[in-house]
Amino acid sequence: MALLHIGLQHPVFRELLTLRRNEGRSTPDRIVVEGAWEHEQLLTSGAVVESFFWCPEASQSERAQKYAAETSTTALASYRISERALARLTRQGRPDGLLSVARLPSWEPSEFRFGRSGLVLVADGVEYAGNLGTLIRTVDAARADCLVLTNRRARRSHPKVLSASRGMVLRTPVVEFDTVSASADWLREHGFHVLLADPGTSVSYRSVDYAAAPTAIVVGSEGSGLPPEWRSQGFEAVSIPMLGLADSLNVALSAGILLFEARAHKNGW
């Protein structure tokens, strides 16, 4: 591979360094991908690779060299960097010399159509990037149609989202609404049976008819749960019975239980 060799003072490198330092804050639509495993996910996702940065001296494995060659032909621009430059960028203990900047895919609410087997997870006020990534991974695992975000705090571009989602942030549809009411109206428009995950209700999630209509599961933030705006929408609330001393489960675990229960009913497991 004949790549343009750039140094620490090159404008492209300085832009990448700024992006790396501000991941998840000022760059909501671009994500930095590092290492062979993450590049494998990137290349198979079909996401647009804006730029690729390769340090050959750090790419000792055949796997790293393979994905370096593939990414260099896929990226809109490719560069070679030194080990010193790599050290300024890497978040890995033993980096293998591959970094890319990719565009996160985007979806519009108007793109979706749902039948009775439709399944959506709505997450309100997610604060932690790791939990957001796990929710995305869970949506994929349950073959839900999309993740809907309201009052979102963590960004998809945060590096922890990529790792916690096992790369599914590059594939899984995510849509965001500015307000709870806009999200609720969209769900009603598509005929969803909306279920609020509420530890305070006595209605068990096992007692619900999930097969009659598309289902939306709504989970709240890690700290304060669902806000009053969701509770005022008139939707049904369900809970997962707690058999021990804890009063609730982690939001991602709760979402997984509820999504797979709904999927099992819809698919006749």
Query: What residue ranges do the domains of the chain occupy?
Result: 4-103, 109-267
Tokens of 192: 């969803």
Give residue-wise pLDDT tens across range 23-71: 756 667 899 999 999 999 999 999 999 999 999 999 999 999 999 999 9
* CATH of 109-267 among 3.40.1280.10, 3.40.50.300, 3.20.20.150, 3.40.50.2300: 3.40.1280.10
Question: Mean pLDDT, to the nearest integer, of 15-19?
Answer: 90
User: What pLDDT shows up at residue 183?
Assistant: 98
Amino acid at 255: A
Q: What angle do CA 5, 10, 12 make, to 5 degrees?
A: 90
pTM for the predicted model, two decimal places: 0.91
> Does 109-267 match 4-103 at the fold level?
no
Q: What is the pLDDT of residue 187?
A: 98
pLDDT reported for residue 211: 93
Residue 21 has pLDDT above 90, yes or no: no
Residue 226 contacts by C-beta under 8 Å, 6 or more apart in sequence? Answer: 124, 196, 197, 198, 218, 219, 220
**Contacts of the segment 88-96: beta carbons below 8 A, 24+ positions apart:** 88/8, 88/17, 89/16, 89/17, 89/20, 89/34, 89/53, 90/34, 91/34, 91/159, 92/34, 92/35, 95/34, 95/35, 95/55, 95/58, 96/35, 96/36, 96/58, 96/59, 96/60, 96/61, 96/64
pLDDT on residue 25? 66
CATH class for domain 4-103?
alpha beta
